[in-house]
Amino acid sequence: MLPHSFTMIATIVIIVVQTFVVVSSAPEADKISTLPGQPQVTFQQYSGYITVDESQQRALFYYFVEAEQDPASKPLVLWLNGGPGCSSVGVGAFGEQGPFQPGDYNVLLKNDYSWNKGVYKQVFNEVGRYIDAYDVTLDVCLSSANQQAYVLNQLQETEKIDVCVGDKIITYLNRKDVQEALHAELVGVSKWSTCSTVLRYDYQNLEIPTISILGSLVKYGIRVLVYSGDQDSVIPLIGSRSLVSDLAKEIGLNTTVAYRAWFEGEQVAGWTQVYGDILSYATIRGASHEAPFTQPQRSLVLFEAFLEGKPLPNIE
């Protein structure tokens, strides 16, 4: 996650892992036959635990979703929520850009703007079982171990529908049959929540600047996109643009695409600026803190363009 000194900066950094993983490489025991209440789908799902430290009995929980079309040829995208301690599975997968979202009457609805629609395979990763091993967690550790992306979920800043959806996610993921279908175990907690009450962060680490991580990624030739909803009341977009501009100057990148509007259909969908064709900034018009939830179609257009290395749509 970003340090406290940058909490006025809206960034969602997505690390696109250009790795082609065939479904058969996932453990068969982790395969999900079906989630309770889900509609019929053609893609496969897997979830379970990845051991990261046998001596400390540490494991990360993951939820993996195939691309809907030709999954073996699609790149793999890793999504991690920040918080600290907020759930990539609960917030990202079931609240934002995953294939399903909880509806009424304990059913799952298909997300028409899910990011696995022929575009890529998704992995949602988070701290998993043996949670007591993470009693004090350093942000530096999370950044190096996970190539941490940052998404902050704060229900108090979202609109009242947002709260309703959040409640549905909590209710759904606390069902025993759902946890069994996901091969999930509650260790050290009696109830699952969107943001952990178990992890205790060393808050001195919140003052350690982490902006250099973005600069390092760019220097290694990894494309970086920083984007914000223009109605985000938690982390205003003005700080985001200044952050990216200052970083570009620091690492010697010139503007290659001047600040301009980008479009979804014939409507202005936001604004964008590109530096050195490797560092990009964009806003999403009408989106609040959880952009893929509040503006799913525009968020999908934005991410597809980034994934394919194409400029955001413009009107000629």
CATH classification at residue 241? 3.40.50.11320
pLDDT at 156: 32
> Which are the contacts of 316, defined by CB distance < 8 A and separation ≥ 6?
none
Shared domain check, 293 and 309:
yes
Shared domain check, 222 and 204:
no
pLDDT at 152: 25
Task: Give the total number of structural domains in the chain.
Answer: 2
Shared domain check, 185 and 295:
no
Supply the range of the domain harboring residue 229: 211-316
The pTM assigned to this predicted structure is 0.79
Boundary of a domain, candidates 176, 209, 242: 209
Shared domain check, 161 and 54:
yes
Are 198 and 189 within 8 A, CB to CB? yes
pLDDT at 301: 95
Distance (Å) of CA 98 to CA 65, 68, 158, 257 = 8, 12, 19, 31
81 phi-psi bin (left φ>0, alpha ψ -120 to 50, beta other): beta
Shared domain check, 42 and 82:
yes
Shared domain check, 281 and 152:
no
pLDDT at 136: 33
Shared domain check, 272 and 185:
no
Shared domain check, 248 and 146:
no
Q: Which of 123, 99, 103 is nearest to 113 (CA)?
A: 99
Boundary of a domain, candidates 174, 192, 209: 209
Q: 201 forms bridges with which residues in the sheet?
A: 137
Shared domain check, 3 and 119:
yes
CATH classification at residue 188? 3.40.50.1820
Shared domain check, 190 and 43:
yes
Shared domain check, 169 and 39:
yes
pLDDT at 316: 61
Distance (Å) of CA 128 to CA 1, 10, 132, 177 = 18, 26, 10, 18
115-144 pLDDT, tens digit each? 998 667 888 887 555 333 333 333 333 333
pLDDT at 25: 55
* List of the chain residues with pLDDT < 50: 1-24, 130-160
Shared domain check, 215 and 197:
no
Q: How far is the first Cα of the chain from the last one, in angstroms, to the nearest whole number? A: 38
